[in-house]
Structures are given as C-alpha cells and as structure tokens.
C-alpha cells in the first residue's frame, strides 16, 4: 500500500509498505481523509519533534514513521475481541495512546500522560496511508449523515473545543481569538455553537476571509488594527471575557492580556517557539488568568461530533482537498506560508 513516510527534517517519501492486519482488540480502516495541521508543518520543517530517532517509551516506535493523526476511515477489518463495530462504518480516530497507569491517567487526565503516543508520529502506522490499524478505543463511529471529511475534522476541532471550554465564558460573552488557522477557525465554530461572540485577528488575508465566511462576528488585521482597543470598544471598556492564543505569537498574548477583562481567562493553545516575555503587572493589575489547553478529552470529541450532526461545522469556505502525492508541495508548504487553512488529503474517498 502507499504511505507518506517521514524520515527526518524535510524528508517525506511516498513509499510502498506492507498492508497492516488488525490484531486482538484492533480495527483496520481504509483511510478516507487525513487532515494536515500546524504540528505536521513543524514536524516537517523543524523536526523531528513529536516523532523520535529513539524508540518511544510506550510503543517502541521510531523513525521513519507514517505521518497523519487527523483521520477518518471506513472499517474494513476487525481483530479478535472486537464485536461492537460494524464493517463498512465510517469512523473518526482519536489518535492518542496513553499508559493508563500513571497518576495523570488514573486521575482522569489521560490526555496529559507524560508517555502519550500519537498515531502518525509515535505509533505503528498513520493516516497518510491507504490502510491503517488502530486500537478499538481510538475509534469513534460517526452517526449516519456525517462524511469522511467531517471525520477528519473531529480531532482538530476537539482541540479547539477544549480551548473554548477552558475560557469559561458564558453565552453572549465576547471572546477574542488570535490566529485564524485551523484551530482558530475551530474556536470560532465552537464559540458560535455555544452562543458566544467572537473577535478574530490574523495577519493572513486568506485566513481572515475564511473567518468572515464562517460568520465570525468581527475580523481584524493585527497589522493595521489595534486589536485590544477594538475589543475594549466592543465591551464598553471592560474587555473580553477571555481570549484564545491560537497563533503562538508573543504579540497575540500581549494583545490578549491588554483586552481581557478582570478575572477573565487567556488560553494558550498555539505553540510558542520562543519564551514569552511578560511583565508581572500585566497579570497583577488586571487579575487575568493565563492557562494552557492541551489536545482534548473524550467529552470534547463527543461534543464536536454532536455539533457536526446539528450542522455546526460546515465543510465549505475553509477546507481544501489534495491527493497523497501532493502532501508537501500543495499541503505543508502553503500551510507554512499561511496560504491555506485546513488541508485534507484524500485517500480512499471517491473524487
């Protein structure tokens, strides 16, 4: 079968590899779509980061690896012991594997397990292949009416959903979203589904256009707009209920702190390459909370799938489709250059 295998920095090769077989407790999928994200961009241009040149402590996997962790597939095989999944079902994949025994896993925070492994980086297999095998607990069968394109969006939209949830805003509140890439757009959609208003800021005209088409309440260009001033004007000088940094940029964090109301929450979900320099007064004199948001738990995934059924996650105006041989040139490169938003790689889905 075909697979896009990552051998190291700026080295992805389309190769023929053996087709996997479902073992005990596993499900075999014919991959339909796999989304590309900022993590893939960083892995390709700056890595290895999530993958490793030494065996992963939980899975033993090492480079080269098959990329792809945002995937959907058709169930085509069931390993021994799997009896509750129907052949032919369309499924989204929750791509994480955890140890299950550490204090974080046992306390209900398995998504923060220090030994976490990701399908597509540190497990055997990934979504950028014709077929892949995952554990039964990683499979989320989609309700009738949702497509493989929806399925490939479940994982990144769950990341956004958790970030919105951690803001803790109430219906009608205004939340600022800094960065209108896939996670920022997902935050806009999650805010709208929760009855919250949004202000979105991004330097990319392409991404601002997508935010506007998806009905963000206000869309700004931080190169020309004073985002913090606009947010304060929209809230009578008080500030937003919270903010989400999906840009991973120090300027976004500074703007978020300036424009968040007292006792509001700034959530960092975008990864910062460099340390963030902050003056203590920016926290002390406003009593703004600053916290992080890491991936998701299963309640986020369930919430996203439910909102998709209700029509809360449109597919048009922000996603584009490419084929497997074009992963780098038409996928990772334009994502790095912010000339694309959500890129879905079509594998087993019909044209």
Is residue 153 within 8 Å of 342, Cβ to Cβ? yes
- How many residues are recorded in the chain? 351
Q: Which CATH class is domain 167-292?
A: alpha beta
CA angle at 111 for the pair 347 and 294, rounded to the nearest 5°: 85
Distance, C-alpha 32 to centroid of its chain: 18
- Beta pairing partners, 70: 35
- For the entire predicted model, the pTM comes to 0.96
Single out the residue of 312, 314, 332, 307 nearest to residue 322, CA to CA: 332
Going from the C-alpha of 170 to that of each of 117, 173, 193, the distances in angstroms are: 34, 6, 12
**Residue-level pLDDT, tens digit, the chain, 351 residues:** 999 999 999 999 999 999 999 999 999 999 999 999 999 999 999 999 999 899 999 999 999 999 999 999 999 999 999 999 999 999 999 999 999 999 999 999 999 999 999 999 999 999 999 999 999 999 999 999 999 999 999 999 999 999 999 999 999 999 999 999 999 999 999 999 999 999 999 999 999 999 999 999 999 999 999 999 999 999 999 999 999 999 999 999 999 999 999 999 999 999 888 888 888 888 999 999 999 999 999 999 999 999 999 999 999 999 999 999 999 999 999 999 988 999 999 998 876
Helix (H) or strand (E) holding 303: helix 298-309
Burial call 139-160: b when 16+ CB within 10 Å, e when fewer = bbbbeeebbbbbbbbbbbbbbb
Helix (H) or strand (E) holding 43: helix 38-46
pLDDT of residue 274: 83
Burial class for 329, CB neighbours closer than 10 Å (0-12, 13-18, 19+) = exposed
Domain ranges of the chain: 2-147+315-346, 167-292
Q: How many CA atoms lie within 13 A of 13 on its CB side?
A: 9
Q: How many CA atoms lie within 13 A of 304 on its CB side?
A: 33
pLDDT of residue 68: 98
CA distance 109 to 105: 5
Q: Which CATH class is domain 2-147+315-346?
A: alpha beta
pLDDT of residue 277: 87
Residue 108 token pair: 């209900």
Cβ atoms within 10 Å of 263's Cβ, excluding its own: 12
pLDDT of residue 116: 97
Same fold, 2-147+315-346 and 167-292: no
pLDDT of residue 296: 97
pLDDT of residue 46: 94
Residue 155 token pair: 């994982």
């Amino acid at each position: 079968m075909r697979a896009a295998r990552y051998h190291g920095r700026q080295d992805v090769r389309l190769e023929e590899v053996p087709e996997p077989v479902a073992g005990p407790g596993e499900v075999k999928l014919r991959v339909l779509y796999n989304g590309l994200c900022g993590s893939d961009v960083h892995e390709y241009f700056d890595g290895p980061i999530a993958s490793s040149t030494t065996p992963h402590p939980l899975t033993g996997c090492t480079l080269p690896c098959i990329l792809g962790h945002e995937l959907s597939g058709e169930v085509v095989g069931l390993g021994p012991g799997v009896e509750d999944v129907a052949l032919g079902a369309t499924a989204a994949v929750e791509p994480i594997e955890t140890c299950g025994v550490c204090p974080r896993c046992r306390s209900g925070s398995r998504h923060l397990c220090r030994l976490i492994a990701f399908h597509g980086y540190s497990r055997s297999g990934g979504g950028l292949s014709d077929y892949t095998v995952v554990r039964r607990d990683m499979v989320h069968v989609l309700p009738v009416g949702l497509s493989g394109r929806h399925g490939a969006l479940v994982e990144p939209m769950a990341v956004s959903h958790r970030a919105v949830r951690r803001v803790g805003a109430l219906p009608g509140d205004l939340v600022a979203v800094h960065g209108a890439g896939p996670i920022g757009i997902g935050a806009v959609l999650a805010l709208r589904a929760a009855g919250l208003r949004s202000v979105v800021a991004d330097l990319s005209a392409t991404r601002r256009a997508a935010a506007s088409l998806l009905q963000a309440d206000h869309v700004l260009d931080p190169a020309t707009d004073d985002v913090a001033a606009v947010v304060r004007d929209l809230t009578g000088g008080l500030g937003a209920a919270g903010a989400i940094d999906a840009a991973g940029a120090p300027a976004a964090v500074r703007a978020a702190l300036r424009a968040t109301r007292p006792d509001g929450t700034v959530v960092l979900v975008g990864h910062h390459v460099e340390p963030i320099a902050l003056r203590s007064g920016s926290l002390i004199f406003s009593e703004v909370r600053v916290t992080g948001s890491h991936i998701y738990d299963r309640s986020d995934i369930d919430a996203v799938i439910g909102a998709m059924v209700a029509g809360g996650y449109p597919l048009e105006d922000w996603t584009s489709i490419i084929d497997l041989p074009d992963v780098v040139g038409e996928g990772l490169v334009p994502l790095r250059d912010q000339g694309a938003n959500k890129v879905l790689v079509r594998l087993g889905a019909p044209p």
